[in-house]
Structure 1
Amino acid sequence: MHTGHITTPFGRRPAKLALVKEQFAIAASTPSTRVEKWKVFRDVCETRERFGLQDRAIAVLDALLTFYPDTQLDASNGLVVFPSNAQLSVRAHGITESTLRRQLGALVDAGLIMRRDSPNGKRYAHRSRDGEIEKAYGFDLSPLLTRSTELALLAQDVAAERMRFRRAKETLTICRRDVRKLITAAIEEGAPGNWGHVETVYIGILSRHPRYPDRNQVDTTLGEMELLREEVINMLEMQVESKNMHGNAAPNDRHIQNSKTESINELEPSSEKEQGANVPEEPKTKSVAGTKTKAKLEQIKAFPLGMVLRACPQIIDYGPVGGIAHWRELMTAAVVVRSMLGVSPSAYEEACSAMGPENAAVAMACILERSNFINSPGGYLRDLTKRSEQGEFSLGPMLMSLLKANGEGSAVA
């Protein structure tokens, strides 16, 4: 029987069976002889999120430990401290009494301290004639001594989890960099493949990644990004193998390849100059699609990045390092602006598919510049996407209008 070790709270605070169970466990345990109190406190600080404790609860526990005179918790010397709320508030950096009561309750619920309430609810101690404490009413620090080993192991687990989280974020950063640079190199050097779609998938993965992710969210994004990296590497590897297979082919092999209506060279704005008169005439229905694709890429080349930034200077603040020096940085900033303006990922992906990633980024920059006059940025972008698919929209007039509004219209003209 352990009736002498069970106590109930004073006043209106109810006695919970969970707390009674914890008192039984502490009474039945054989705690360490002594343990350094500030070491246990550091372990609690390390594991406070596991217990659902706020930083103010840690400050209150710190204040309680300062009222224990020895540097080591020792059961033989008694582990009950009995400061008043006013004294606790001073040592807890002046928190209010209501906050103090709430955080003391959180420490009790977490099983880190116990209440030893007196008949009238006051905190005090009975002393012998020699001045030694015979009986004390207040807060019992026995759980810290009893659970010291458990808290130390839990602190080690939290530190290991934090290390795994940090390494997962580092791996994601490297993987994201690899995918971004491989896509950029493939697009700039005209590698065969549907790189516009790959770019859209990449932007979609980043748009779903929260700004302050937890471990599971980082692992999810990392898995998607690693799959995309494998796909990009496979596409580039297939291209290298294809070049090796056709490296010694006949001189007219290039001409035969260009005769296919779905040749990737249709997507290169300079392909007509490079191929010259050897390019056979395409069927009318096929050439229209090729002309539209060329027009999109030529439209990007027609608007220098500097011109876009002069027309839309606000987006510069959202660049990766507080500035924009390349098209890929503009596209990265556009993803941030999309989220800020409340444009859905699906609306932006549709814009990237219809206009191309670069044009979609320019459109987002224009929408940001005119955000004070646009009630629904998402609906506005969808409208531009629909008009772009119908061939009824061009970014030129919009950029010119913004340049004119910024006082550079005459210089551009």
Structure 2
Amino acid sequence: MTEETAIASFRRVSPAILASARMAMANDIPDTSKSEISHLLKKAAPILGIDGATYHALDILLGLSGPDDWKGTRRPIVAISNAKLAEYMQRSVRTVTRCLRRIVEAGIAAYRDSPTGRRFVDRDKGGMITSGFGLDFTPARVRLEEIKESVENYQRELKASKDARRAVTRLPRAIIDACEEFPEKSDIWRSSAQAIIDGVASRAEQASGLESLYAEVLEYAEQRFQEHEMSSAGDTSVTSTTDTIPKIFSDSNERTRSIERDIIPPDDGSAAEMAYENKPEAAAGDMQNRLRQAEKTAGDIQGAVLDAVSIGLLQVGCRAAQECVSVEFHGWSDVVGAAEVMRRMIGLSEAAWVDAVGRVGRTAASVILATVLEKSLRDSYLIAKPGGYFRAMVDRAVDGRLHLSKSVYGLAQSEMNTRERRAKR
């Protein structure tokens, strides 16, 4: 078939659209498979700026492409009218038009317009495309290695950001414990920690500065411990106790909350969960009591949601979601760690995610998120708006009407049936 890519005169052409058209005319095309490129593009969606309705459109278009069209010198062209695609997505034609433009400008597809504007594909007896007009996904094949590298870099940056966020939450607490154990250094360490948090905007730089300060704290604590050991080495009249070990090496729950609030910065959603782990003081005011009651409610809801859901069941039921985010759900921490990527995959806003975490708990929200992503990956027609579907599930969880175990069990049973059918072939 021809390697020329025509763009209709009625289109408003941008440099990104022209760049995609040039890539579609390339002759040196890496060999790949429909499955590989589909998973890769879904992982790269947050990087490419594809979310919400655009992600839904991309999922449908990839599903309509022929598996053999991604091999050799063939070109994967999808011919579907905007009206039919709008019917599949349950959106307006104008919305579909904007979605297709975003896909093309993202550099993974190109317009291949016919003179009449109609989209169609002609194939020979062997199934090869002889002529076709529609959306050409050849640019995605041309950029295969580039997109792979971008996804790997993005996942590394995401992990580094998560580690830095945890460090900025964890290290000030450890430093506060050290201040209580060594009052002579309390003012210096507290002011240094506060200066790092107030003077540095980047979370990574904050984490680096706090790690350096914490290393100094550990070094001082070790010196004091050694001095104590040397001073009591020849004293037989004193019974040694384990209380000489500094509290900094243990997880103390007896922290002064007023001091923590002075040093520890807010942590976009995770601070509420951290506070739930700490026992509030008896003398807390009405505001703290209300917060504690809200946290208790979220904890109760989370327990009810996850009551009959095991990590093994989730691992079997959400196989496609795990492949999409490149994370195996061996434990609840794995599910929580993949939440940020899954949130972006379904086009859920950060504000909606933080609200869900505050209402049902981080683990329960992450499991609900994995379930929604799995359902949308299996059948994009069933869930037109994954973000809205997620929020509806959270509302049902708060009302006590969500039976998540049934949904996950159904997904797991469907996965097992699919495996059995494949084994019989």
TM-score, length of structure 1 as denominator length: 0.50
Larger Rg: 1
For CA contacts below 8 A with separation 6 or more, give which structure has more relative contact order.
2
TM-score, length of structure 2 as denominator length: 0.48
